[in-house]
Amino acid sequence: MLKETRQLISTSATYSVGNIMVKFITFLLIPLYARKLLPDEYGVVAILELVELLGKTIFSYGLVQSVLRFLVSYKTQGRANELVFSNYLFLVVVNIIVLGALVLFPTGLSRVLLDNSADSIRYIQLILIVIFFGVIQTLFITLLQAEEKAVPFIIFTVLTFLLTIGLNIYKVGFLNQGVRGIVESKLYVAMLNFVLISGYLLKRFRPRFSFAVIRESIDYGLPLIFVGVSLTMLSLADRYLLKVLRDVSEVGIYAMAYKFGMIINMVLITPFRQAFFPLMFRLAEEQDIKGAYRKFLTYFVFVGLLFVLFVSSFAKEILILATTPKYYHGYIIIPFIAFSYFLFGVRTIFANALATQKRTRAIAYSTVFGAVFHICFNLILIPYFGMIGAAIVSVTSYSVITIATFVPLQKIFPISWDWGRIFRLLFVALILLLVSLSIRSNYIWLNILLKFLILISYPLILYFTNFFTPTEIKSIGKTYSTFRQKLIRN
């Protein structure tokens, strides 16, 4: 158990290094966007991000998730070529037809999402092409994830973002192309990656197409389309509803603050999922994993709440230092968003346990239910409370979806969770957060210093109140040494 825990932490940390680098690079663009784009223009960018993420989910048809789930077993059978090539060819051929038709007739989609202007129609066409290329990129990085190749994953991801950032700085910063410059930068990078990835896949995996593989992949992955769409709606639908029910300027302010609230997703949740899913799928074939899930949830809650404390405590100071006054009042939503993603991380563990039991329909039902709840509750609160209402709905919706995933899991695959330690963590974190939010001096650097002292008291309080067992303390030391040696080797 300790070996698997150290492996998960080490691999997650490796992924996290890459995600931190990417997030840091992305944050370099925020001052540029804050100064070059008005809130309504940044609102358009947020809507296009929604379309891109939603499109990549829908037009992968669940096949990408199937590669993650079945690659180990297909390699054992000597059939990895069939799995990867069949899914690649299916995605390319089908999406040329489907997305090609949408690119040729974009007016209806543009009218629903933005408006009928020539610029909006052009943006929609370009983002649809980005989606076509992006689906294959998603297949590639999922393949790296399934093979637990964390370092190549980081290198590819960071290089992709560096190229995108460079193009953004040139087109938005120097050429003043605004929204158009952002979308075209995405397109150029996506085209280049598609060519390189296709060459790699066709060279490594011998062309062997199988309809049986496609049927198995769709049977497993199709329910996960609804999961992916619902999760996208949970994280991004509020921006579209803010545009419809309020105005696009409020979308821009909300989206800017949201990026800071989701730091926990980029730095912790995403790398955790990238390491956790392949590890647990492999362990599920070898041993009883209920004890592993119990431990991993407790450790995740400990680390996740530390990130929530950090992001929530420094929300106002972050916006003041990184943006311009027209975006400052968005700081109030950041704690809500940070805690929402923490709940998403908890739910990830429950969903993974269901996935190892091949109960993806239960995951789909809970996610769709959460998305419907999210949309309906937003329709009620946004007209009265605007972006604050949307932030409250975000926390409520992720709570609902977490509970809706937990209940069927306990019936299908009951696990004895360590609720005593988990609630202890929640209590300590809540008290420290309330103390941190009460600090409101007129000196920003004094606020930062005091809040930092409160932040580091979180693990110290737990240590001196004997939260950690001697075995866990020893394991933390070994994990740190392993991770440091791994970084040195690479």
User: What's the confidence (pLDDT) of residue 25?
Assistant: 59
User: What's the confidence (pLDDT) of residue 198?
Assistant: 95
DSSP 327: G
Q: What is the pLDDT along the chain (490 residues), one digit of tens a residue?
A: 545 555 555 555 555 555 555 556 566 677 788 888 888 898 898 889 889 988 998 999 888 888 887 887 888 888 888 999 999 999 999 999 999 999 999 999 999 888 889 999 999 999 999 999 999 999 998 898 788 787 788 889 888 988 988 999 999 999 999 999 999 999 999 999 999 999 999 998 888 888 988 998 888 887 777 777 777 777 778 988 998 899 888 989 998 899 888 888 877 887 777 677 666 666 665 566 788 888 889 999 999 999 999 999 999 998 888 888 888 889 999 999 999 999 999 999 998 888 877 777 788 788 888 888 999 999 999 999 999 999 999 999 999 999 999 999 999 888 889 999 999 999 999 999 999 999 988 888 999 999 999 999 999 999 888 888 888 777 776 766 665 665 556 5
Under 8 Å CB-to-CB from 195, ≥6 apart: which residues? none
Under 8 Å CB-to-CB from 221, ≥6 apart: which residues? 60, 61, 62, 63, 64, 65, 66, 69
Q: Which helix (H) or strand (E) holds 328?
A: none
The alpha carbon of 404 is separated from its chain's Cα centroid by a whole number of angstroms, namely 20
Question: Angle at Cα 279 formed by Cα 276 and Cα 282, nearest 5°?
Answer: 145
Q: How far apart are CA 154 and CA 162, in angstroms?
A: 12
Tokens 């075209």, residue located: 184
User: What's the confidence (pLDDT) of residue 91?
Assistant: 95
Q: Give 3-state DSSP helix, strand, coil % of the chain, rounded to 5.
A: 90, 0, 10
Residue 142 near residue 87 (C-beta atoms within 8 A): no
DSSP 238: H
Three-class SS state of 441: coil
Q: Is 477 exposed, middle or buried (0-12, 13-18, 19+ CB in 10 A)?
A: exposed
User: What's the confidence (pLDDT) of residue 342?
Assistant: 96
User: What's the confidence (pLDDT) of residue 184?
Assistant: 96
User: What's the Cα-to-Cα distance from 430 to each of 148, 181, 339, 460, rounded to whole Å?
Assistant: 35, 42, 11, 15
In angstroms, the first-to-last Cα distance of the chain is 26
Contacts 24+ apart (CB under 8 A), 23-31: 23/263, 23/266, 23/267, 25/158, 25/161, 25/162, 25/165, 26/161, 26/165, 26/259, 27/259, 27/322, 28/165, 29/165, 29/168, 29/169, 30/256, 30/259, 30/322, 30/323, 31/322, 31/323
Looking at this protein, which amino acid is placed at residue 363?
Answer: I
Residue 138 near residue 60 (C-beta atoms within 8 A): yes
Domain residue limits at 383: 2-489
Structural domain tally of the chain? 1
Q: How far apart are CA 451 and CA 323, in angstroms?
A: 20
DSSP 438: T
User: What's the confidence (pLDDT) of residue 119?
Assistant: 93
Q: Give the number of other Cβ atoms within 10 Å of residue 13's Cβ.
A: 21
Helices (H), strands (E): how many in the chain? 20, 0
Looking at this protein, which amino acid is placed at residue 117?
Answer: S
Q: Cite the DSSP H helix spans in 262-333.
A: 263-264, 270-284, 290-313, 315-322
User: What's the confidence (pLDDT) of residue 347?
Assistant: 93
Record the pTM.
0.73
Residue 59 near residue 131 (C-beta atoms within 8 A): yes
Within 13 Å and on the Cβ side, how many CA atoms surround 334?
29
User: What's the confidence (pLDDT) of residue 5?
Assistant: 52
Pull the structure tokens for residue 425: 């963590």
